[in-house]
Chains A and B, each alone.
Chain A
């Protein structure tokens, strides 16, 4: 069966450091993978999309990598800030399947 694995344990880092979150998937052949941010009491917010033919994508302090051989995506936040504290969800999308399935998310806590 299809599975998306994100570290369920919270990631605690110091302000200014780089946060790296992992998304592993099995039994998917994703044409692309998306990352979302969710704050308590709010809906997820779209951050970045990376396609299967892209190895890396950047947006400001965010960087996403996508390794279809390892079946893994890494999400990096450089120069992290306390305002980056949130839960981050990944969502691989199978070719031809329109609706996203989300991982359970990893909570990031950036300490000042």
Chain B
């Protein structure tokens, strides 16, 4: 298994509160991603990072911010949680290819179940 740890595994919070989810990897991979999984929607990309302090928006980035101050950590923050952000959040990593570019195969963490009441 790829060395990816997500914390917390479960969280219940109230609408309007800030929430930070953490993804930690021990693989030293350059690329990191945050996805959310919802019934009827599959997995949708929130934000991704292609290096320390280099991040970009994904398909469903509204209401979320990210930070990557170290290679191994990628944080996802909900500044003011809403009920629509109740979801399962997955972190994923992928490695660089020796010829340049990124290996398309992603490795996923075990997920964080977030409930916003």
| A and B found bound together | no
Binding site for A on B (CB under 8 A): none
